[in-house]
Amino acid sequence: MKPTMETAAEENTEQSQERKGCFECCIKCLGGVPYASLVATILCFSGVALFCGCGHVALAGTVAILEQHFSTNTSDHASLSDVIQLMQYVIYGIASFFFLYGIILLAEGFYTTSAVKELHGEFKTTACGRCISGMFVFLTYVLGVAWLGVFGFSAVPVFMYYNIWSTCEVIKSPQTNGTAGVEQICVDIRQYGIIPWNAFPGKICGSALENICNTNEFYMSYHLFIVACAGAGATVIALLIYMMATTYNYAVLKFKSREDCCTKF
């Protein structure tokens, strides 16, 4: 009877040790998760998807509005159509690049965080590993500055569409006096530089302008540009988080390498 009780006690002890070991393993694994990089990756994927998807459709809608209302002569907006088509291809490239870059940065965050937590980071604490981490820090800074420019550029069509929409609201306003007053309210799209000054008609006034604002193309393109601009802003925030995370990890790795070097002597 006694050996049986001792055996049961030993089995319970082994089971408790296994549970404790499993719990410690889970805690250790969770400690190696780069939460900042994970959040930044999700935000980056979402922002790039919104910018590329909505921007592509909004550009197509803008071309349709220009061709139907502001520039009926094909030769006047031929260059603009080519530029917009090129921008759509660039959007495809941006989406593909950042999908791959986000995965690489997330993987780099896992390895670097593991090295910082002293889990399994022998490579990351070497000179080659620190060089790769520094390269990602520099590249992320460059991309962050570039996306600030993209964010500013994406705000331009939002500003243009807002001016057109606000002009239509003035036309609809009860304070606008008579038909003659309405027809004097115009929008000249040529002032934004997207079509040449000799484009015909280039300027739309009164009820014709109000009809443009009521079309599905205008309504959809306006809101898609707003979402695309918001997506670009989200991508900028994601890259800022990447900058802070990669810079911090790189600094810690460099400090640890110096500490290890001094410990050897």
pLDDT one-digit tens code per residue, 27-79: 555 555 677 778 888 898 999 999 999 998 898 888 888 888 887 777 767 77
Q: Terminus-to-terminus CA distance in the chain, angstroms?
A: 59
pLDDT of residue 130: 67
Q: What's the rounded Cα separation, in Å, for the pair 137 and 239?
A: 10
Of 39, 33, 52, nearest to 232 by C-alpha is 52
- Mean pLDDT within 145-160: 91
Q: What's the rounded Cα separation, in Å, for the pair 178 and 132?
A: 69
What is the chain's mean pLDDT, rounded? 77
* Whether residue 193 has pLDDT greater than 70: yes
- Mean pLDDT within 177-189: 74
Model-wide pTM > 0.85? no
| Percent of the chain residues topping a pLDDT of 90 | 15
